[in-house]
Structure 1
Amino acid sequence: MKDASSSCLKAKDKEHRLRYLDFVQAAALQAVICFSSLYNYAKENSGPLRPGVQSVENTVKTVIGPVYEKFHDIPFELLKFVDRKVRLSVSSFS
């Protein structure tokens, strides 16, 4: 029984993975990590501006948070759409 559910999960995982544009997702993730590290470094070394930075950060989180929650899946869905189109183009050339 475990093997059947395991193979079903693997099939679903394979379905959700990108075939041709996975490097774009990896590059975007790497860029987010680098930007986050840079932002944290700048925030920690902001000195006397730290309370102002925290105030602005809290305001931005309050305003942008609901918008992010609504639209955070769209970039990946768009990337999956483009990946499917690339797959169709590649298969038509073969």
Structure 2
Amino acid sequence: MDQFEQEVHELREEVTTLWAEVEKLTNLLLPILLEKNLVQTRAPPRVPDKLPTWYRSDLSCAFHQGAPGHDIEHCYALKAEIQKLVQAKKN
């Protein structure tokens, strides 16, 4: 393995480690936001009749009360709520 390939390999390992840390923090953040009444969980969305290619029935989202299809790390609704809190804090 030449030096470039080694650097790419090391960077991939670092990214994998960072994603694991982000997932841990995301999983810790929701209970704190719920406890402080800054967000409320949402009703599970309807499961589409024809599942999209990105749909992951093996994952579930705590923000959507355990609904399948995605996990909390990939929950756009939760990210939007957090973004609103950040924007409100700025104002």
Q: Where is the helix percentage greater, Structure 1 or Structure 2?
A: 1
Q: Same fold, TM exceeding 0.5? A: no
Q: TM-score, normalised by structure 2?
A: 0.36
Q: TM-score, normalised by structure 1?
A: 0.35
Looking at both structures, which has the greater relative contact order when contacts are Cα pairs under 8 Å and sequence separation is at least 6?
Answer: 1
Structure of higher CA gyration radius: 1
Q: Where is the strand percentage greater, Structure 1 or Structure 2?
A: 2
